[in-house]
Structure 1
């Protein structure tokens, strides 16, 4: 397993603004084999119902641990709230409906991209697969929902090599943001 470096490029209390930023970044990304991953903490039965409409075969476990209930055991998630949701490899069109279902629940949506483009005028080579990710932390400032917030944070992932800071700055500029200086290690 390796890690990417996730740099926050936009923090906003306006979820629509965060989604517009994600859409803008997706427009420049290579989406050939792209998919989306979800993590969330759900406390509310209504939120759970809405999330299950988006992801009918939801993977989850009780916040107290799998022995307290899990999708693998065939338990009823509504009887095990609060639950942690971990769902991987979904089609891109599931991201926005999932986000809309969350209400105030903290979550992370990560787009696994095929690559970031070459940008000769910025001195950037193309980045493919392994370090091409985009993450939206919803109702949280970090990648792990450890810092619940009314803010939403857009993170771009790089590999920490030479030119990564320029790529973060270039991507941030596309969405009217800036590299905030907040960087997290993200296991891949």
Structure 2
């Protein structure tokens, strides 16, 4: 298993601003075969209902909390097991924004799995394969795993752990930002 380095390039209380940044980064990347993955912590039956409308089948989830039981694998009703942590993988890109809209104040992570970061000869950047080409938006959380809850949203760009090419700064500049200095290892 490989790990990428997810570097925060924007933190904002304005979800629309965060989404504009994500769209800009997606326009830079190669996305012909890209897909999107989701992770969220759901406490509310209303949020769960809206998420299930956006992602009606195949959700993986399990109950959260000490002594909590219940999971998709066991065939349990997720609403009867709230709060839950849910996952979904490899969805079309057009599912990302409806999922984000469904969240209300629930913490989540949305990761766009890109085809590649492009070569940028004028910046001295070589193309980066799909293995290290991701954008993650954390909603109502500053970290990738919803451990650091917040009332803001953070855009992360992924590179290889040893990449010192300047790609993170170059990508941050595309959205009118600079790297925040905050980075996390992201198991892939």
Task: Identify unmatched segments of 5+ residues in structure 2.
Answer: none
Deviation at 1:162, TM superposition (A): 4.3
TM-score between the two structures when normalised by the length of structure 2:
0.96
The runs of 4+ residues in structure 1 deviating greater than 6 Å are none
- How many residues were matched structurally? 187
1:28 corresponding residue in structure 2: 28
Report how far residue 72 of structure 1 moved. Answer: 1.5
1:55 matched to which residue of 2?
Answer: 55
Greater strand proportion: 2
Match for residue 4 of structure 1? 4
Secondary structure of the residue aligned to 2:149 is: coil
Give runs of aligned pairs for residues 15-94 of structure 1, distance below 5 A.
15-57=15-57, 58-64=59-65, 68-94=69-95
TM-score (norm 1): 0.96
Matching of residues 72-151 of structure 1 within 5 Å = 72-151=73-152
Structure 1 unmatched ranges of 5 or more: none
Distance apart, 1:163 and its partner CA = 3.8
Partners of 2:43 and 2:35 lie apart in 1 by 26
Calculate the aligned-residue CA RMSD, in Å: 1.4
* SS of match in other structure, 2:150: coil
Q: CA deviation at 1:148?
A: 0.4
Return the offset for 1:160. Answer: 2.9
